Structure 1
Amino acid sequence: MEYDISDISEADAGRQRILWADRQMPVLGSIRDRFAKTKPLQGVTIAACLHITTETANLLRTLQAGGAQVVAAASNPLSTQDDVAASLVKHDGIAVFARRGEDTPTYYSHIDAVLDAKPHVTMDDGCDLVSRVHRERPEQVESIFAGTEETTTGVIRLRAMEQAGSLGYPIVAVNDANTKHMFDNRYGTGQSTLDGVIRATNMLLAGKTIVIAGYGYCGKGVASRARGLGAQVVVTEIQPLPALEAVMDGFQVLPMAKAAQIGDIFITVTGNRDVLRPEHFRVMKDGAVLANSGHFDVEIDLAGLAAMTTGERRRMVRPMVEEFLVRGEDGKDRRVQVIAEGRLVNLSAAEGHPASVMDMSFANQALSVEWLVAHRGELSARVYDVPSDIDASVAELKLSSMQVEIDELTNAQREYLASWTDGTK
């Protein structure tokens, strides 16, 4: 088996952490038990481009239990947990191509390595794998019959491909499942993003002004958790509806040009590029901290920031924090501090989402792959939602694992909901 990881000797430590996460992922565990008996993925090769973390390891183990041959690469150069990669190789026999801190050429060579396995299914986190096979290896597209996508950013790219007529096979937008974006994006991103900021800086958030760019599910989660830690939260938006929702939720909403002047910490979570730009850097407070929790490292204009800074005015001040000394509009120098090279702060500076949240997201992944395999050859080349019965079953399994019971409709209630004749009496 070919693989490329940092240190195989870390495998036992990785195994211990994977099993710890597995204890908090009962839904995925129940799916793995069923997969091991029924083998619904027998004969299918799956190429996964995901964050190589303890939670992802349990997803890959579940797919393997279902009979699939699994190969995996990292979806972000700074999110790989090297001991987890080692454990997957040594203890599970899964080919992994991922090293924490790998450079861009290595990152894409690892994606090419998983494509060399000639997969039937792709599993993506950001659409780099799908984009790579369509751009660089179009001859392989015919042999791939389906895929899944985990992120908002990736789904945006896939829908653009579909609209352009460039998508070569059906892909399920796992990100859009209610049990994914309502919980993973809100509760997972909310907690793990601030965890990354705190670990990287050791700053007290209480009393700070935190500017959050974007008020989607992820932004809502970050804003809620920041307020809970005592921060004064400012939201920036480009859409009127989420901006209005932020106002009604009690947050101050400002354009970034104004927010840039008052923020202590800035967190971008928009899925777009150049959200923080030179005109914002010039008016920021001395010591402003910038972090990104969107999938790609384009939300902060790092090239623009670097262009404002000469070599000797740029330095590492903590292991995950780089400081840029920039000249402000007032002619004075100010320190602008960027966490984790502007990459996903929750995975680069912390450990990502808690396992109990990823339990639902990865349950959706596993069940969506099973559905795609069952419907092989029946689907057109477009982006599909997660089937509603899968979404509902994940919620039911999660409630059951938490020992939470809910009511059932009575026969009279079912009849009432199916009728149109009953009215005001």
Structure 2
Amino acid sequence: MTNFDVKDLKLAEGGRRRIEWAAREMPVLRQIRERFEKERPLAGIRISACLHVTTETANLMQTLQAGGAEVVLTASNPLSTQDDVAAALVSYSEIPVFAIKGENNTVYYKHIHAALDHKPHLTMDDGADLVSVLHKERRELLPNVIGGTEETTTGVIRLRAMAADGALAFPIIAVNDAMTKHFFDNRYGTGQSTIDGIIRATNILLAGKNFVVAGYGWCGRGLAMRARGMGANVIVTEVDPLKALEAVMDGYRVMPMKEAARIGDVFCTLTGDINVIDRPHFEVMKDGAIISNSGHFNVEINIPALEEMSSSKRLVRPFVEEYELKDGRHIYLLGEGRLINLAAAEGHPASVMDMSFANQALSVEYMVKHAAELKKQVYSVPAEIDSEIARLKLAAMGVEIDVLTDEQVHYLNSWEEGT
């Protein structure tokens, strides 16, 4: 195989060992892979995947391949690729990979085009960049495409906007909508891995710090919970009154970002929106404030404004840029404002990605079977898939649950009985 672009194939052996280690924590995906090997439900299907190139993603790619799919993988973020994993997929699984950690935007989009050269029947996206390029620049490929899946909140938002505009050319299953995805991946995965990334980048003690969490969706909930567990004083900023109320009831201080900016020591955005930390916030931040992002794109922090306000900047640690403002204060930006849990750490633990990627694998199988029946819109993961993944996960953990008796089923489906 010659059609790939990775950093160094000599890294492959180390990548293979780490992929195998992750597999030990992914029992649900392993069960799906064993079934796929027997049934081959994806035989002859070409899949172009734009995902974070990690050990967990490698196990998903191998599962799709076991089901008969011809898979190509490219990165969904320039800083999230694990180069040894990319090399291992090429060397040992013969899966074409186009991804190099630290690639610039030009190379990033060149790699997306290379993945689309595969002429996919199905797309698999994390952030909707692949689908966006396909619709804007590679429309000649659209007749081949029967459907796709989307991994994350940001991508689902973009795709629903496309569908509302009548621009979406094929059906998409929003994997992020699955309860076994956002309840666990977003909350526990993002919570733990974001803290991991911030600490790896800075080596600071969180205990006693004012830790500002921008956004109280499932990712924000998880990060707030983990930051409090590390001893931080957690402050939440929100625009949604219901989520803000929930944060108050969960015991956090809630205030506008303009107020939080004055007292925060560490900031992290997880909203999916633009300029959440902006010029007015930089103007009032403490000397030494640390800012980071765990949303999909590096737009949540207004980096151009920070650049304009600064007299100089320098890299003081890997993934830590010191901006010296014109008034002498210093602000520290982590991971170029990109996903800090993947830029400076390894992303979500394999055991939580087990459920997310089980949703991906089963949603692809569902799309192959039902694409002809689906309209050009964004669908949630079918409830039966969600429940089956939860059942398989519980079984793998050795956890048993009760089963309704016939009497209980009858009672729940009747209206005659009361007090």
Q: Normalised by the shorter chain, which TM-score bucket? A: over 0.9
In 2, distance between residues paired with 1:96 and 1:297?
Answer: 23
Secondary structure in 1 matching 2:191: helix
Cα deviation for residue 379 of structure 1 reads: 1.1
In 1, distance between residues paired with 2:255 and 2:322?
Answer: 26
Do 2:189 and 2:352's aligned partners in 1 also have CA atoms closer than 8 Å?
Answer: yes
Residue type at the aligned position of 1:325 = E
Task: Specify the alignment match of 2:329 in structure 1.
Answer: 334
Task: Specify the alignment match of 2:371 in structure 1.
Answer: 376
Q: 1:394 aligns with which of 371, 389, 397?
A: 389
Secondary structure in 1 matching 2:262: coil
In 1, distance between residues paired with 2:231 and 2:310?
Answer: 33
* Post-superposition CA distance 1:107-156 (Å, at most 9, x none): 00000001001000000000000000000011211210000000000000
In 1, distance between residues paired with 2:371 and 2:36?
Answer: 18
Residue type at the aligned position of 1:180 = K
Task: Specify the alignment match of 2:148 in structure 1.
Answer: 147
Residue type at the aligned position of 2:352 = V
* Post-superposition CA distance 1:4-33 (Å, at most 9, x none): 000000000000000000000000000000
In 2, distance between residues paired with 1:88 and 1:38?
Answer: 23
Cα deviation for residue 378 of structure 1 reads: 1.7
Task: Specify the alignment match of 1:27 in structure 2.
Answer: 28
Secondary structure in 2 matching 1:122: strand
Q: 2:409 aligns with which of 403, 407, 414?
A: 414
Secondary structure in 2 matching 1:274: coil
Secondary structure in 2 matching 1:207: coil
Task: Specify the alignment match of 2:263 in structure 1.
Answer: 262
In 1, distance between residues paired with 2:149 and 2:308?
Answer: 38
Residue type at the aligned position of 1:379 = L
For normalisation by structure 1, the TM-score amounts to 0.98
* Post-superposition CA distance 1:194-224 (Å, at most 9, x none): 0000000000000000000000000000000
Secondary structure in 2 matching 1:85: helix
Instruction: Within 5 Å, give how 1:18-417 maps onto structure 2.
Output: 18-310=19-311, 313-327=312-326, 332-417=327-412
* Post-superposition CA distance 1:84-127 (Å, at most 9, x none): 00000000000000000000000000000010010000000000
Residue type at the aligned position of 1:374 = K
Secondary structure in 1 matching 2:206: coil
Say how many residue pairs are matched.
418
Residue type at the aligned position of 1:419 = S
Cα deviation for residue 54 of structure 1 reads: 0.2
Secondary structure in 2 matching 1:167: coil
Unaligned residue ranges in structure 2 (runs of 5+)? none
Do 1:180 and 1:360's aligned partners in 2 also have CA atoms closer than 8 Å?
Answer: yes
* Post-superposition CA distance 1:306-356 (Å, at most 9, x none): 01113xx211110110010114xxxx4211000000000000000000000
Secondary structure in 2 matching 1:52: coil
Do 2:171 and 2:371's aligned partners in 1 also have CA atoms closer than 8 Å?
Answer: no
Residue type at the aligned position of 2:212 = V
Cα deviation for residue 34 of structure 1 reads: 0.4
Do 1:282 and 1:326's aligned partners in 2 also have CA atoms closer than 8 Å?
Answer: no
Name segments (4+ residues, structure 1) moved above 6 Å: none
Secondary structure in 2 matching 1:89: helix
* Post-superposition CA distance 1:62-102 (Å, at most 9, x none): 00000000001000000000000000000000000000000
In 2, distance between residues paired with 1:378 and 1:240?
Answer: 38
In 2, distance between residues paired with 1:380 and 1:142?
Answer: 15
Cα deviation for residue 376 of structure 1 reads: 2.9
Q: CA RMSD in A?
A: 0.6
Secondary structure in 1 matching 2:346: coil
In 1, distance between residues paired with 2:189 and 2:32?
Answer: 21
In 2, distance between residues paired with 1:381 and 1:279?
Answer: 41
Residue type at the aligned position of 1:174 = V
Task: Specify the alignment match of 1:17 in structure 2.
Answer: 18
* Post-superposition CA distance 1:157-191 (Å, at most 9, x none): 00000000000000000001000000000000000
Residue type at the aligned position of 2:164 = Q
Do 1:325 and 1:336's aligned partners in 2 also have CA atoms closer than 8 Å?
Answer: yes
Cα deviation for residue 411 of structure 1 reads: 1.1
In 1, distance between residues paired with 2:92 and 2:259?
Answer: 53
In 2, distance between residues paired with 1:283 and 1:333?
Answer: 13
In 2, distance between residues paired with 1:252 and 1:333?
Answer: 30
Task: Specify the alignment match of 1:4 in structure 2.
Answer: 5
Residue type at the aligned position of 2:184 = F
For normalisation by structure 2, the TM-score amounts to 0.99
Do 1:326 and 1:333's aligned partners in 2 also have CA atoms closer than 8 Å?
Answer: yes
Unaligned residue ranges in structure 1 (runs of 5+)? none
Cα deviation for residue 380 of structure 1 reads: 1.1
Cα deviation for residue 37 of structure 1 reads: 0.5
In 2, distance between residues paired with 1:117 and 1:369?
Answer: 17
In 1, distance between residues paired with 2:196 and 2:78?
Answer: 19
In 1, distance between residues paired with 2:36 and 2:295?
Answer: 33
In 2, distance between residues paired with 1:273 and 1:345?
Answer: 17
Residue type at the aligned position of 1:356 = S
Residue type at the aligned position of 1:85 = A
